[in-house]
């Protein structure tokens, strides 16, 4: 693959460009400051498992579509119950914690560098409302922001990736999907997008059978690889 074969870059956001876990973890700490580290991590895992499971149920047709904000409120309620907190205002604040994750240290500069050469499209399972706050908080630069909410589904449903193809006006093989989650890249591959894996803590690394076009340590490394490909 050469740089001239790519017309736009599509980025996953949660976990790839921002540390989603850190944002939720901070919200859990605010909810129950007395928790020890192990208990906070257990509650974080409870949140993540719920959201992942319910998104998959939507994709599989086992649950009618609901926006990510609904799933976040459900997860917040589960976490609050497990922590023994019944203050509705505290639970509501926790439900918004996922909108305030910090960017990874290389994210802002890496996006700015790549934006000089390519249109950048965000494609996230977060809701449109959540993305507005998240992008502002993290200082992310985009030419287009898409939520899977627009397709009323979640990645890795093919319909979510097709929304990026439609917006770009280009064939799928002219788009490069970037994510820290191998499952996300496999979904993009299924409809013909090129793929680039970026390593992040807590991501979903490739297996031995995965064949992605690029592998990068961070966005600076990704930009360097595209330079070399050109």
Summarised one tens digit per residue, pLDDT across range 82-91 is 999 999 999 9
pLDDT of residue 2: 61
Confidence of residue 4 (pLDDT cuts 50, 70, 90): confident
- The single residue listed with the structure tokens 């890249």 is 185
Task: Give domain limits for the chain.
Answer: 3-19+101-229, 20-99
pLDDT of residue 1: 60
Pick the CATH number of 20-99 from 1.10.150, 1.10.238, 2.60.120, 1.10.3470: 1.10.150
pLDDT of residue 230: 61
Average pLDDT over the chain reads 95
Q: What is the mean pLDDT of residues 88-115?
A: 95
Is the pLDDT assigned to residue 149 strictly greater than 80? Answer: yes
Summarised one tens digit per residue, pLDDT across range 109-145 is 999 999 999 999 999 999 999 999 999 999 998 999 9
Q: What is the mean pLDDT of residues 15-20?
A: 97
Summarised one tens digit per residue, pLDDT across range 152-187 is 999 999 999 999 999 999 999 999 999 999 999 999
DSSP state, 14?
A: B
Class of the domain covering 3-19+101-229: alpha beta
Could you give the CA distance from residue 180 to residue 144 in angstroms, rounded to a whole number?
20
In b/e form, how buried is each residue of 191-220, taking b as 16+ CB within 10 angstroms? bebbbbbbebeebbebeeeeebbbbbebbe
Summarised one tens digit per residue, pLDDT across range 43-72 is 999 999 999 999 999 999 999 999 999 999
CB 127 within 8 A of CB 58: no
pLDDT of residue 3: 55
Higher per-residue pLDDT: 1 or 97: 97
Percent over 70 (pLDDT), the chain = 98
Could you give the CA distance from residue 94 to residue 79 in angstroms, rounded to a whole number?
9
pLDDT of residue 229: 76
């Amino acid at each position: 693959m050469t740089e001239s074969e790519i017309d736009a870059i599509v980025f996953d956001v949660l976990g790839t460009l921002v540390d989603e876990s850190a944002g939720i973890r901070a919200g859990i700490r605010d909810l129950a400051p007395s928790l020890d580290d192990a208990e906070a991590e257990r509650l974080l895992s409870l949140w993540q498992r719920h959201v992942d499971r319910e998104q998959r149920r939507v994709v599989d047709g086992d649950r009618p579509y609901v926006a990510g904000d609904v799933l976040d409120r459900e997860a917040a309620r589960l976490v609050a119950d497990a922590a023994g907190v019944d203050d509705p205002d505290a639970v509501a604040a926790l439900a918004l914690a996922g909108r305030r994750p910090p960017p990874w240290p290389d994210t802002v500069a890496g996006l700015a560098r790549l934006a000089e050469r390519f249109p950048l499209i965000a494609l996230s399972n977060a809701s449109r409302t959540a993305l507005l706050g998240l992008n502002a908080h993290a200082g992310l630069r985009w030419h287009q922001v898409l939520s899977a909410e627009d397709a009323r589904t979640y990645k890795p449903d093919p319909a979510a990736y097709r929304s990026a193809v439609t917006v770009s006006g280009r064939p799928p093989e002219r788009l490069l999907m970037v994510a820290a989650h191998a499952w996300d890249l496999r979904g993009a591959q299924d409809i013909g997008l090129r793929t680039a894996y970026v390593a992040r803590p807590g991501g979903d690394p490739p297996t031995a059978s995965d064949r992605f076009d690029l592998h990068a340590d961070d966005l600076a490394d990704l930009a360097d690889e595209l330079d070399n490909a050109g």
